[in-house]
Amino acid sequence: MKAKPLSQDSGSRRYAYRVNKQENRKELKHVKIDEKSVESKTETLDLPKKKFYRQRAHSNPFSDHQLEYPLSPEEMDWSKLYPEFKDPTTGDMTKKVTVADIGCGFGGLMVDLSPEFPDDLILGMEIRVQVTNYVEDRIIALRNNNIESKRYQNINVLRANAMKFLPNFFTKGQLSKMFFCFPDPHFKQRKHKARIITNTLLSEYAYVLKEGGIVYTITDVEDLHNWMVKHLEEHPLFERLDRTWENGDKCVSIMLNATEEGKKVERKKGDKFVACFKRLPNPSDL
């Protein structure tokens, strides 16, 4: 008989850990923390451990993953992800998501962006289930452990295929920043169509980005960097920003150092290639 993977073997530590975290997640995920409970609250939550969230390195972006997504942005209930930003009297959100980390992986970029942009709602989109669960658990723990300062209330993650459903989540011109940090390189020629920057997808990114909004890209794979630059430069709605701009931008320095992939590249003393692009006005608006 074939052995079950550890994640499904009810006797394994990983299974027990995941079940426990899942219960926690169900209980804490959408809870707005009651300030009155702050004084009596002493329990700190441990940050999740990556070893319990292992899964395959890649997920096919063309598969049908049975993902949940709203029929239109109006149907999305953001208050579940950012309960602190729900107006208790009107029930409306006081802010909209304006920053998206596409393929956020383990969420390091959002964690570092959060205190720098406390008034922006930042959303990570991640296709892999266990990686998304890890980020959810990380944010639950960070919020819980920073109740008084209310830090990390402006970040959250959604399991989503960013190559398929972006306009279901965001209205036209909603975003001011989109990050593509160390995207999967899909090295083989026949797999290039699975890359997250393509002509068609760039038009979708241009739709959800506001005029003057920024696309940030970083990778350690030079060929992928050249690919992203070529496609973005060829697109009529994007213009590359120069090195001086990059050097003066706070997000570039965060992006260079905060992500888990970036740290891995750092340890191996690899190169990091950065390119940033500004969303231009639609020609019809000129």
Ligand X SMILES: C[S@@+](CC[C@H](N)C(=O)[O-])C[C@H]1O[C@@H](n2cnc3c(N)ncnc32)[C@H](O)[C@@H]1O
Is residue 131 within the footprint of ligand X (CB under 6 A)? yes
Binding flag, residue 219, ligand X (CB under 6 A): no
Residues 146-165 interacting with ligand X (rule: CB under 6 A)? 160-163
61 binds ligand X (CB under 6 A): yes
Q: How wide is the angle at C-alpha 230 spanned by C-alphas 225 and 232, nearest 5°? A: 95
**Does 261 contact ligand X by CB under 6 A?**
yes
74 is in an annotated binding site: no
Phi-psi label, residue 21: left if phi above 0, alpha if psi -120 to 50, beta otherwise: alpha
For 129, phi and psi rounded to 5 degrees? Answer: -60, -55
Strand, coil or helix: what is 274? strand
Given the rule CB under 6 A, which of 3-11, 14-22, 176-184, 206-214 is the region that contacts ligand X?
A: 176-184
Residue 73 or 83: which CB sits closer to ligand X? 73
* 92 is an active site residue: no
Instruction: Considering the complex, state which of residue 93 and residue 166 has its C-beta at the smaller distance from ligand X.
Output: 166
Q: Which strands, in side-by-side order, build the sheet including 97-102?
A: 155-159, 121-126, 97-102, 175-181, 209-219, 273-279, 238-240
Contacting ligand X (CB under 6 A), which of 128, 138, 143, 186? 128
| Phi-psi label, residue 193: left if phi above 0, alpha if psi -120 to 50, beta otherwise | alpha
**Three-class secondary structure of residue 177 per DSSP:** strand
Please tell me whether residue 182 binds ligand X under the rule CB under 6 A. yes
* Rounded Cα distance, 110 and 128, in Å: 17
CA distance to 102, 195, 200, 201, per residue, from 188 (Å): 22, 11, 20, 19
Mark the segment that binds ligand X (CB under 6 A) among 11-19, 62-70, 71-79, 99-107.
Answer: 99-107
The answer to whether 81 and 158 are in contact (CB under 8 A) is yes
Least distance to ligand X, CB of residue 107, Å: 8
Catalytic hit among 101, 120, 184, 220: 184
Least Å from the CB of residue 141 to ligand X: 19
Question: Which residues of the chain form contacts with ligand X (CB under 6 A)?
Answer: 59, 61, 103-105, 125-128, 131, 160-163, 181-184, 196, 259-262
Which parts are annotated binding residues? 103, 126-127, 161-162, 181, 259-261
| Residue positions annotated with a catalytic role | 184
